Structure 1
Amino acid sequence: MSNPLPLIQRVFAALVLLVLLAGCSTTTPPDSVLAVPAPAQKYAAIVVDARTGKQLFEVSSTAQRYPASLTKMMTLYLLFEALESGRVSKQTQIPVSDNAASQPPTKLRFRRGESIDVDSAIRAIVVKSANDVAVAVGEYLGGSEVQFAATMTSRARQLGMTSTIFRNASGLPDDGQMTTARDMAVLGMALHQRFPQQFHYFSESDFMFRGRLVRGHNDMLGRVRGVDGIKTGYIRASGFNIVTSYNADGRNLIVVVMGADSARQRNDHVEALIQRSLSPTMDGAKTRLMFAEQ
């Protein structure tokens, strides 16, 4: 068993780790409690009503965090813009450079001189979170990944993402690549509102590529009725991140959770936040803080 944290760390962690009483649900007892034992320097969350922009819940939502593969949401935003403008079509072939092919997994694994069509590239980024494909898209649209990252940051500012800096197209580790839960919620809403005709990609959990079924790892799809995307992410420095869109029964929520210790814990927390936000007694929901030993 690990040694207890020093008292000051325990107290500080308790201020950001919350336990939520789930709302009415057939899968979770009404009086059940969900703990999120994430380190204070990693955890952040926000729930926004995407129809009104009203913030329904937040913890550390403007604190700097590493986006990990949530970065690819902006890579896709710029690719969708290129589709909309006619700069590319879904049949356009994107060459995969040696640099792109050399990226660490997850990836599709290309050989020298190969390419991928835009439609497959979108699916590969959404479903597989393929780093090689994200870099190839960045190089194709930006001339270089460095220039593409500068465009990503510029577009983030235009969207109102005031605290985000992008350094690459994939979300692979870079100490200078930072964001906030709030900014990721802004980007999630922008993708939904600006590109409704493309948003269906985010609900796909697998796709066929070169005769092989490629499966994804967004387990929120199919787990909660109404969830229709968007993107997961993980690097060691960030913990387990997710942006989730809920759209059912006249309600549209964007839920962001960053810094969880596992995918399962992250998904449990997202589900609890959705239930809490949909509950008619949400304003009176019992919320208490609790320390969970690391």
Structure 2
Amino acid sequence: MKKKLTGMELFNSGKQIFAPCVYDCMSARAAEKSGYPCMMLSGGAIAYSMDGQPDMAFGTLDEVITIVEAITNCVDIPLLVDFDDGYGESPAVIYRNVKRLIRAGAAGFTLDDSTGFRGFERMEYYKANPNEVNPVTVDPTYKTISRQKWLAKIKAAVAACEGTGCVCIARTEAGPSYGMDEAILRCVLAKKLGAPMTTVCGGMNDLAMGTRVAEKDIGWKMWPDVIVINGKPSIELSDAEKLGFNLVTMHVFEKSALYGMIKYGQEDLKNKNVVFSTKHAMGGLSVEEQKELLSMR
């Protein structure tokens, strides 16, 4: 195993990082072999792949720690982690949990203010607003924790990261609850507490909103999961980079993995043998290259 870059080393490189979301060792290996410089462990993808459930906070801290340890032990690129609400309410618990995450090998993590609505209400909000770009009304069912409680958790997480090179990404979903001005203010205050990077989730889906955020939230920022709207990317990476969004994440491996598995399965079932899947060259790889890839060597 090569020495991995820490989160601080990764972002201090000055390059914008485009990172895919992963959920297990195979998807992490795919990210590494595809040439990406790092990856993000997705809470939603874990929910789908491990629990067969929507992203509604069914996962546990121990499950996340186990997956992080497995991934960081089998690949050489840094792993960022969607750490949800930190799996606790008390800042002391957050401090302990972040220490565990760092020991497991995480190069960075998001810590959000979603406690209290990451279940049914959150799912229903996004179902009702699938392509919302500029929310102008406050949804009373979509509540995050208070600014003070979240910032206390951020402060504890930043303290846990001291001297480790691990990056705390302060993630707020306060926009739909309290308006975008409150979401931006939370990011500004989180940076004042020492969070190196921030991200606004909920309502920031286009360049105009990204510009609005960047006007006040100065410094490192994460653009959460660039998407496609009407057949076009919601933002161009070069435009986002000019605004200080030096981390952009996206989902690709869930769809590609399912398609590949279904295709192989259908062909082998139709042929009543494994000739198709065995002889498939995976884009022109030799037999030895395929063995090395699949054996995780």
TM-score by length of 2: 0.28
Bigger relative contact order, structure 1 or 2 (CA pairs below 8 A, ≥6 apart): 1
Which structure shows the higher strand fraction? Answer: 1
TM-score by length of 1: 0.29
